[in-house]
């Protein structure tokens, strides 16, 4: 964005020398008309490089300050009818890095004094809290054994990408539920420790996630394929199969 001053006769340097000298204002009664000249609306032209016609509209200013986010393929996948929105929003915040953890607090000028609530061994970053904490790794190892395949824990996006593998729709639902409820219970355990001083045992978290498998697998309206692999997969999750 730029501002162009248009003056009729005297150059800009000469005008400045008339009103400023020795680091002080030199404007007296005789030069009061000069102020009138500078403050006339017609003597100023505003040009905005953000728009085609040079005008600065409210819409242009808004999108300059708040650019449109890039479209991501998983944004609609997270909001699943089989999952309560309260659980889905925690997963959404984790992927968007919107939690008030240490690195986000530092960006806002707040110096945190806390550490990881599970082991008190590291700063509380999103990646550590949900993907690399020793306690959390036990949950993902358990889920990996149930799924019978590799989980990419390098980032939240890579973890979610496992749900997009070519599987039956009902299988995708169950996998998404398993990951979403695991993340939700990790966040709940963190808050329970910080605000109530109570540590949820590992077996309690596993029991909550396991119970959800059967419920969601039964209420899911999506279908499964005729693949034996998908059948055995859902059998491990104790879910009711919905055929085409």
| Spatial CA neighbour of 241 closest among 227, 223, 229, 228 | 223
Domain edges within the chain: 2-65, 75-236
What CA–CA distance (Å, rounded) separates 100 from 112?
10
Three-state DSSP at 105 gives helix
Which pLDDT tens digits describe the chain residue by residue (244 residues)? Answer: 334 444 444 555 566 666 666 666 666 655 555 555 444 444 444 455 555 666 667 777 777 777 776 766 677 778 888 788 888 899 988 888 888 887 777 777 777 767 787 777 777 888 888 999 999 999 999 988 877 778 889 888 888 887 767 677 777 777 888 889 999 999 999 889 888 888 888 888 888 888 876 666 566 666 666 677 667 776 666 554 445 4
Q: Residue 124 in contact with residue 114, Cβ under 8 Å? A: yes
Q: Residue 223 in contact with residue 244, Cβ under 8 Å? A: yes
- Cβ neighbours, 10 Å, residue 121: 10
Can you give the pLDDT at residue 56?
66
Q: What is the pTM of this model?
A: 0.65
Can you give the pLDDT at residue 163?
72
Q: Residue 113 in contact with residue 105, Cβ under 8 Å? A: no
Can you give the pLDDT at residue 9?
46
Provide the sign of the torsion angle of the four alpha carbons 68, 73, 74, 79, taken in this order.
Answer: positive
Provide the sign of the torsion angle of the four alpha carbons 89, 73, 163, 133, taken in this order.
Answer: negative
In this structure, are strands 2-5 and 44-47 parallel, antiparallel, or unpaired?
antiparallel
């Amino acid at each position: 964005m730029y501002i162009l001053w248009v003056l009729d006769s005297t150059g800009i340097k000469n005008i400045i020398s008339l009103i400023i000298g020795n680091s002080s204002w030199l404007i007296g009664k005789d030069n009061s008309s000069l102020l009138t000249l500078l403050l006339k609306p017609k003597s100023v032209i505003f040009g905005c490089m953000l728009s085609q016609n040079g005008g600065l509209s409210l819409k242009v200013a808004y999108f300059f300050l708040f650019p449109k986010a890039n479209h991501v393929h998983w944004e609609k996948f997270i909001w699943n009818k089989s999952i309560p929105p309260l659980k889905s929003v925690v997963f959404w915040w984790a992927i968007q890095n919107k939690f008030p953890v240490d690195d986000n607090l530092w960006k806002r000028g707040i110096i945190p004094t806390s550490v990881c609530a599970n082991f008190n061994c590291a700063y509380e970053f999103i990646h550590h809290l949900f993907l690399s904490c020793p306690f959390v790794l036990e949950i993902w190892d358990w889920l990996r054994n149930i799924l019978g395949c590799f989980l990419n824990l390098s980032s939240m996006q890579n973890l979610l990408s496992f749900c997009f593998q070519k599987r039956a729709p009902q299988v995708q639902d169950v996998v998404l539920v398993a990951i979403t409820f695991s993340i939700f219970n990790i966040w709940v355990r963190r808050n329970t420790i910080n605000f109530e001083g109570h540590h949820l045992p590992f077996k309690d978290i596993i029991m909550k996630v396991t119970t959800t498998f059967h419920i969601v697998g039964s209420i899911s309206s999506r279908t499964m394929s005729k693949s034996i692999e998908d059948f055995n997969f859902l059998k491990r999750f104790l879910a009711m199969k919905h055929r085409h």
